Structure 1
Amino acid sequence: MTLTELRYIVAVARERHFGRAAEACFVSQPTLSVAIKKLEEELDVKIFERGGNEVSATPLGEDIVRQAQQVIEMAQGIREIAKRGKDPLSGPLRLGLIYTIGPYLLPDLVRNTIARTPQMPLMLQEQFTVRLLDMLRLGELDCAIMAEPFPDAGLAVAPLYDEPFMVAVPKTHPLAKMKRISAERLKQETMLLLGTGHCFRDQVLEVCPEFARFSSDAEGIKKSFEGSSLETIKHMVAAGMGLTVVPQLSVPAEAQTHVVYIPFEDPVPTRRVVLAWRRSFTRYEAIAALRNAVYACKLPGVTRLSD
């Protein structure tokens, strides 16, 4: 049994396809297939069910893949310990972010990281929360910036900031002259939402739960629009299609021609943004440096948090 063979089975479990796994490991498919078959014969177990276009791990195979991932991480940990003896921050940090945080935090965060720790480049990945959790579990990411709540995956979590929500209103809308808006008042309006899969969509529906029904019946098609990004939805607001709710950091610094951003009345809905990483991740200094780089960002209108 070798580390290479263990990397192969982790790749197949992730890709659910021998060809894609071979490409990810930079080897030919026959090389990967022969190595996995050899490992199965050595262990005298069947790790994968083969058939059709997709490969899946057997119940016992899932346990083996999980253990293989831990072994790979431990081997990587040995390398990291050696690196830390020279420079604790040396080497890239693989960071994931959800779509409703990345565009608004990354410009400042990348600049701060380059200025503070140039020897620790950020390798960035934007994804949905569920996918980021999978990537953390499989070791494809070192850490991720997400919004709570999310399923408990046994991760270490550090709070970064609490971010209030704002209401985006067309400048020609009667509500545009209001200083603050209640969640109750939004019940009477056409609401534009992010599509299914975005955790921010779920958080907005907690504020305005009556809009949940719009995504499940025919009438809802007339009453709401589901967009792929906050920026797309903002353009729809500017066109007068309806209102939406956005996180504070997505609000432009300068006044907009066609959209007005209005705070909520108390209690103001907020989301908590956190940094999460595997407990087995050994580069503690890198996590601390990343948190400090986040705290050094401007973050207008949010409440910075610390342990």
Structure 2
Amino acid sequence: MTLTELRYIVAVARERHFGRAAEACFVSQPTLSVAIKKLEEELDVKIFERGAAEVSVTPLGEDIVRQAQSVIEQASAIKEIAKRGKDPLAGALRLGIIYTIGPYLLPELVKHTIEQYPQMPLMLQENFTVKLLEMLRTGELDCAIMAEPFPDTGLAIAPLYDEPFVVAVPAPHPFAQRQSVSTQELKNETMLLLGTGHCFRDHVLEVCPEFARFSSDAEGIRKSFEGSSLETIKHMVASGMGVTVVPSLSVPRDPTPHLRFVPFEDPVPTRRVVLAWRRTFTRYEAIAALRNAIYACKLDGVTRLS
């Protein structure tokens, strides 16, 4: 049994596909398949059920994969301990971030990280919350910036900031001249939503629950539309297709000719943005350095949390 074989079974368990797992491990599929078959024979158990369309993990295989991930983490920790003796911040930090935060935080965050901690480059992964949680669990990521709530996975959590929401409307819209808008007033508007999988979509539906029914049936096509990113949706709003709700950090600092951003009336809906990492992650100084770099960013309109 080798660490390489353990990495292979973790990759297959994650991808549910031998071909994709082989690509992720930078080996040929036959090499990976032979190694896993050898490990199954050595253990005299079946780790995977091979189906025509997808590979599934057997119940006993789930326990083996979980233990394999733990062994891989412990092996990596030995290297990290050695590095920390020389420089606690040496080496890349694998950071995940959700789609509705990345474009607005990363430009400044990367700049401050380069300036303050040049020996700690950021390896970045943008994805949905559920995928980032899985990547944290399997050790593919060291930490992730996400918005609460998300399932309790036993992660260590550090709150970063509370971010209010604002309403984005086309410039000719009656709301554009208002000082504030209530959540109740949005009921009569055509709402543009992010697609399924984005946690910010769920946040908007909490603010305007009546739009939940429009996102799943044909009748609702006349009442709500979906976009793949906040920037795409803002372009749709600017063209007059409807209104949307966005987090305050996504509001551009310079005025835009065709868009207006209007605050909510009290109580203002917000989301809490946090930094999460595995409790077994040993580079505590790297987590602290990342938080310092985040706090060095301007973060206009948010309430910083210590």
* TM-score range for the pair, normalised by the shorter chain length: over 0.9
- Tell me which moved more, 20-29 or 152-161: 20-29
**By how many angstroms is 1:192 displaced?**
0.7
Matches of 1:140 and 1:198, distance apart in 2: 21
Matches of 1:27 and 1:107, distance apart in 2: 34
Matches of 1:291 and 1:173, distance apart in 2: 39
Matched, 1:92 2:97: no
Matches of 1:46 and 1:232, distance apart in 2: 46
**By how many angstroms is 1:87 displaced?**
0.4
Matches of 1:132 and 1:193, distance apart in 2: 21
Corresponding residue number in structure 1 for 2:80: 80
SS at 1:27 equivalent: coil
Structure 1 counterpart of 2:57, one-letter code: A
**By how many angstroms is 1:28 displaced?**
2.5
Corresponding residue number in structure 1 for 2:124: 124
CA deviations on 1:212-243 (whole Å, 9 max, x unpaired) are 11112222100111000000110111111111
- Tell me which moved more, 36-45 or 118-127: 36-45
Matched, 1:219 2:209: no
SS at 1:96 equivalent: strand
SS at 1:145 equivalent: strand
Corresponding residue number in structure 2 for 1:304: 304
SS at 2:290 equivalent: helix
CA deviations on 1:81-123 (whole Å, 9 max, x unpaired) are 0000000000000101100000000000000000010000000
CA deviations on 1:157-216 (whole Å, 9 max, x unpaired) are 100000000000111011111101010111111111111111001001101111111112
Matches of 2:57 and 2:10, distance apart in 1: 10
Structure 2 counterpart of 1:133, one-letter code: L
Task: State the Cα RMSD in Å.
Answer: 0.9
User: What is the TM-score when the length of structure 1 is the normalising length?
Assistant: 0.98
SS at 2:221 equivalent: helix
Task: Name segments (4+ residues, structure 1) moved above 3 Å.
Answer: none
Matches of 1:20 and 1:255, distance apart in 2: 45
Matched, 1:294 2:294: yes
Structure 2 counterpart of 1:186, one-letter code: L
Matches of 1:217 and 1:22, distance apart in 2: 39
Structure 2 counterpart of 1:228, one-letter code: S
SS at 1:120 equivalent: coil
Corresponding residue number in structure 2 for 1:189: 189
Matches of 1:31 and 1:215, distance apart in 2: 45
Matches of 2:298 and 2:177, distance apart in 1: 28
**By how many angstroms is 1:43 displaced?**
1.3
Corresponding residue number in structure 2 for 1:236: 236
Counterparts of 1:101-250 in structure 2, within 5 Å, are 101-250=101-250
Corresponding residue number in structure 2 for 1:32: 32
Structure 2 counterpart of 1:296, one-letter code: A
Paired-residue identity, % = 83
CA deviations on 1:25-49 (whole Å, 9 max, x unpaired) are 2223222222212211221111011
Corresponding residue number in structure 2 for 1:272: 272
**By how many angstroms is 1:265 displaced?**
0.4
SS at 1:192 equivalent: strand
Structure 2 counterpart of 1:5, one-letter code: E
Matches of 1:27 and 1:237, distance apart in 2: 46
Corresponding residue number in structure 2 for 1:16: 16
Matches of 1:258 and 1:26, distance apart in 2: 47
Structure 1 counterpart of 2:202, one-letter code: D
**By how many angstroms is 1:8 displaced?**
1.1
Structure 2's unaligned 5+ residue stretches are: none
Matches of 2:37 and 2:256, distance apart in 1: 61
Structure 2 counterpart of 1:40, one-letter code: E
Structure 2 counterpart of 1:188, one-letter code: N
